[in-house]
Amino acid sequence: MSGSVLDRVLNGIGDYVSRRSRHDDRRMRFFMLPRDISLFVKSARTDARIARISRAAGPKSAFESVYRESNDPWASASPRYRYQGLKYDRLVALLPERRFTNVLDLGCGLGLLSQKLAGRADHVLGMDIAESAVERARVRAAAFPNLRFEAGDILNLPPTLLGKFDLIVVADVLYYLSPLNDAVLQSVIQRIAGLLSPGGVCLLANHFFFSADPESKVSRGIHRAFSRSLSLSVLSEHRRAFFLATLFSERALPISAA
């Protein structure tokens, strides 16, 4: 087991318990089992492999490689673990209490979160850079008539999608961008904002272990960049066990006089 990953998980548990205890939250309960720690280790190994391949061949090749090597590279669908499914339930619970017309799940992977979103929407489109993931997502979602999947790159989405979605979900995706600098991040934010219909909302979620963790700092930086955007307004921010989620609304910009 990777010591650094285990340390991050245990420190994250300690930080979470400490914060909850200070607020005397009697409703606090963990939604992971001890065996879920091995899920984080498996995920970290997959992420490390993606990083290595991306440096040599680019992100598309990296994601295709891990999906060729495993039907479920992050064990997201494995019944052995509770964490990922319950995390998706909690993300969906953060959404405004309304039904959505068109939903986009960017970086959908095997489509597990897309399936949960299908219960809240008329139409859901899941997109992933890996065609292998999209093919498997289609098989898994055969029983969902309002759910479809397409291959697509978040850095090069078709213009036909502009202004189409009243909900966009970006969960555990953006920290895979390389390079992840301010210029790339601002470009992505503008692309996502442009996909929202008037009054649409965006749910952004990323891993977050504890404040001093380097990868958690990356997640915090992504959320702060979205929060500074002139195209989006923060509706709410939520810190949960091992993830950070922020809900944004589309912000209509004033039309300047000619």
pLDDT band at 37 (very low <50, low <70, confident <90, very high): confident
Amino acid 15: pLDDT: 53
Residues 77, 80: Cα–Cα separation, whole Å: 9
Q: What is the mean pLDDT of residues 76-100?
A: 94
Helix, strand, coil proportions of the chain in percent (round to 5)?
45, 20, 35
pLDDT digit string, tens, across residues 248-257: 998 764 444 3
Q: Where are the chain's structural domains?
A: 3-69, 95-250
The answer to whether the predicted template modeling score (pTM) of the entire model surpasses 0.95 is no
- CA triplet 62, 67, 71: central angle to 5 degrees? 160
Hey, what amino acid is at 243? Answer: F
Say if residue 167's pLDDT is above 90.
yes
Residues 85, 73: Cα–Cα separation, whole Å: 15
Task: Tell me the pairing of strands 243-250 and 232-240.
Answer: antiparallel
Burial class of 214 by CB neighbour count within 10 A (0 to 12, 13 to 18, 19+): exposed
Question: What is the average pLDDT value for the chain, to the nearest integer?
Answer: 87
Burial class of 196 by CB neighbour count within 10 A (0 to 12, 13 to 18, 19+): buried
Q: What is the mean pLDDT of residues 224-232?
A: 95
Say if residue 170's pLDDT is above 50.
yes
Residues 217, 224: Cα–Cα separation, whole Å: 10
Q: What is the mean pLDDT of residues 43-53?
A: 93
CATH T-level topology, domain 95-250: Rossmann fold (3.40.50)
Amino acid 31: pLDDT: 56
Amino acid 40: pLDDT: 84
Q: What is the mean pLDDT of residues 102-123?
A: 98
Amino acid 231: pLDDT: 93
What string of DSSP letters covers 51-87?
A: HHHHHHH-HHHHHHHHHHH-SSTT-TT-TT-SHHHHH
Q: What is the mean pLDDT of residues 210-225?
A: 90
Contact 114, 92 (CB under 8 A): no
Residues 25, 142: Cα–Cα separation, whole Å: 41
Amino acid 21: pLDDT: 41
Amino acid 11: pLDDT: 54
pLDDT band at 258 (very low <50, low <70, confident <90, very high): very low
